[in-house]
Structure formats: structure tokens, C-alpha cells
């Protein structure tokens, strides 16, 4: 079986850049998202740069049978993951009690359930290739987020789960890294119904930079990577501020933006 880096959410934003970084560093790719045309265009671009053409699979990862669909698609092509990059995710902005319940639960299905299943489904092949898992969390993982409560909670799960898995899988040579970006201008803002406030520009990073930081952190075996100096300082400060004060600050910013 040929080893690949399986990257979810590779049709936009940070996922596109992660695919470019993994391809540039010599990995063969399997790209997953719902928009096939975007995945095909990215595969064309990577192939045109002289790298092996990525395999693409249009798949809705919110579906309960998504991973059961994905695994045979990989083996039918003679592929197995050496790396799994759980990047697909979305947020919703607004009070949790008034947002559409189905959409909120779909967010948990994607950000939490699919990420968990994909992290666990291929451990044997990750171990064979001494590869790893890169889970995209967020700076939002470090604090509760009134105005985006379910999203922040989903990212707290991603961080906690990934840190524990880092330790559990260390013995078998599988690296696990939680990547925590702060604000990044992508389709995320439109999907979640928010805009980046002007203050966020101070710590905003381009998706390409976040992807490189995540890749390097994974390859160095880092447990948690917070992208950018500004975000690292913010996370350190959060440890010393009571949650009540932090939440009041997040609450004031909501409607315009949160930590994401
Ligand atoms: N942007 C930020 O400020 C920021 C900050 C911190 C963390 N993050 C995290 O970074 C990750 C990537 O976000 P982004 O900013 O790059 O957002 P984005 O531009 O909206 O991209 C999201 C990706 O996820 C895919 N996706 C969404 N729903 C899916 C589903 N049901 N099944 C399969 N794929 C699905 C989308 O593809 P399709 O629509 O084609 O399916 C797209 O490729 C997310 O986990 C997000 O929470 C983002």
C-alpha cells in the first residue's frame, strides 16, 4: 500500500495551504471535502508543479458513514494514510439557544465526531509509516466562547483529545499535534456569520503561514502548536485571567468576531 497524507477540508482556506505544504515536502495526498471541483482544481495545480497528482474524494464528513465510506476508497486505490490531517471544520455565530439546532449538531458531527473517528481509524497504518495526526483546533480551545459556545467547546474537545492521544500514541511512534490558529481570513468567517474586527488584524496570519507552522510542528513531534507570537502571548495571558472576565471580553466582541 502506498502511504498518503489524508487531508480533510482541502477545498478552501487553511486546508488548501496544508495540501500545498504537504505536497511541496514530498508527500502524496488524498484530499477530502464536499466540493469536488475545488479539490480537482487543487489536484491539477499540484500535478502541474511536477508533484504526484493527489487523489480527491468528494465526501460529506458530517455523515455518520463518512469514514466507513472513506476507508474502502483508500484501499481500492492501493493507498493507506501515513498522515491524517483533520482540518475540516466550521463555526456558527449567535446565542446557542437560538441557533438552528440541526446545524449546531452538524458542527459537532464534523468538528468532533468525524475528527475523532479519523484520528483513530488508521492508527495501524500511521504506526507502520511512523507518521502522525495533525488536528486543527483553535485559540478558541483555551476559553469558553459565549456567542459561539458550541464552536469553542468543540475546539476545546479537539485540543484535549489530541493532547491525550499525543501521549497514548507516543510509544508506537505516531506523532499527534493540535494546531491552534488565531484569526485567519478564509471562508470560515462567511460560513460562521462573523467578520474579523480590525483589532484582529494585529494577530491575523495568512493561511499559508499557519499551514507551514502546523506542518513543522507535526514533524517536530510537538503536542500543541499555537500559530504566531501574538496568539501565543494571548494564550499565556488567558491562563492568568479569570474565566468570568475572559467571557465578558469575548461576549463584547461577539457579533463582530471571537478568537475562532
Ligand atoms: N479561519 C480562522 O480564523 C480559523 C481560526 C482557528 C481555527 N480554524 C479552523 O481551521 C479549520 C479550517 O478552517 P478554514 O478557516 O480554512 O475554513 P474554510 O475556508 O471555511 O474551510 C473549511 C473547509 O472544511 C470543509 N468542510 C466543511 N464542512 C465539511 C463537511 N461537512 N464535510 C467535508 N468537508 C467539510 C470545507 O469544504 P467543503 O465546503 O467543500 O466541504 C473547506 O474545505 C477549521 O477546523 C477551523 O475551525 C480557523
Mean pLDDT of 106-133: 98
Radius of gyration of the chain (CA): 18
Q: Work out the end-to-end distance of the chain between its first and last CA atoms, rounded to an integer number of angstroms.
A: 37
Give the model confidence (pLDDT) of 143-183 as tens digits.
999 999 999 999 999 999 999 999 999 999 999 999 999 99
Is residue 152 part of the annotated active site? The answer reads no
Give the model confidence (pLDDT) of 26-79 as tens digits.
999 999 999 999 999 999 999 999 999 999 999 999 999 999 999 999 999 999
* Atom of ligand 1 at shortest range from CA of 61: 32
CA of 11 to the centre of ligand 1 (A): 9
Q: Ligand 1 within 6 A of 204 CB?
A: no
CA of 247 to the centre of ligand 1 (A): 24
Q: Closest Cα to residue 29, out of 48, 50, 12, 52?
A: 52
Whether pLDDT at 112 is above 70: yes
- 48, three cell numbers: 502541474
3-state DSSP helix/strand/coil % of the chain, to nearest 5: 50, 15, 35
CA of 83 to the centre of ligand 1 (A): 18
pLDDT score of 48: 98
Q: Tell me which of 239 and 158 has the higher pLDDT.
A: 158
Provide the H-helix boundaries in 97-227: 101-108, 115-121, 123-128, 149-170, 188-192, 207-219
Strand partners, 49: none
Q: Ligand 1 within 6 A of 88 CB?
A: yes
Amino acid at each position: 500500500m502506498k502511504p498518503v497524507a489524508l487531508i480533510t477540508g482541502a477545498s478552501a482556506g487553511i486546508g488548501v495551504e496544508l495540501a500545498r505544504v504537504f505536497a511541496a515536502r514530498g508527500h502524496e495526498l488524498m484530499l477530502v471535502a464536499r466540493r469536488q471541483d475545488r479539490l480537482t482544481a487543487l489536484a491539477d495545480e499540484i500535478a502541474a508543479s511536477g508533484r504526484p497528482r493527489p487523489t480527491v474524494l468528494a465526501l460529506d464528513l458530517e455523515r455518520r458513514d463518512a469514514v466507513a465510506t472513506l476507508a474502502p476508497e483508500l484501499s481500492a486505490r492501493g493507498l493507506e494514510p501515513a498522515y491524517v490531517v483533520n482540518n475540516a471544520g466550521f463555526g456558527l455565530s449567535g446565542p446557542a439557544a437560538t441557533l438552528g439546532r440541526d446545524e449546531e449538531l452538524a458542527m459537532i458531527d464534523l468538528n468532533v465526531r468525524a475528527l475523532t473517528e479519523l484520528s483513530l481509524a488508521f492508527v495501524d497504518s500511521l504506526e507502520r509509516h511512523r507518521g502522525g495526526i495533525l488536528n486543527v483546533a483553535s485559540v478558541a480551545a483555551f476559553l469558553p466562547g459565549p456567542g459561539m459556545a458550541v464552536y469553542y467547546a468543540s475546539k476545546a474537545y479537539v485540543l484535549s483529545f489530541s493532547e491525550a492521544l499525543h501521549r497514548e500514541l507516543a510509544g508506537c511512534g505516531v506523532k499527534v499535534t493540535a494546531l491552534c490558529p488565531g484569526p485567519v481570513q478564509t471562508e470560515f468567517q462567511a460560513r460562521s456569520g462573523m467578520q474579523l474586527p480590525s483589532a484582529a488584524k494585529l494577530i491575523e496570519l495568512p493561511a499559508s503561514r499557519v499551514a507551514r507552522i502546523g506542518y513543522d510542528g507535526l514533524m517536530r513531534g510537538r503536542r500543541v502548536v499555537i500559530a504566531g507570537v501574538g496568539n501565543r502571548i494571548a494564550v499565556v495571558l488567558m491562563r492568568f485571567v479569570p474565566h468570568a472576565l475572559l467571557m465578558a471580553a469575548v461576549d463584547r466582541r461577539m457579533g463582530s468576531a471571537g478568537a475562532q
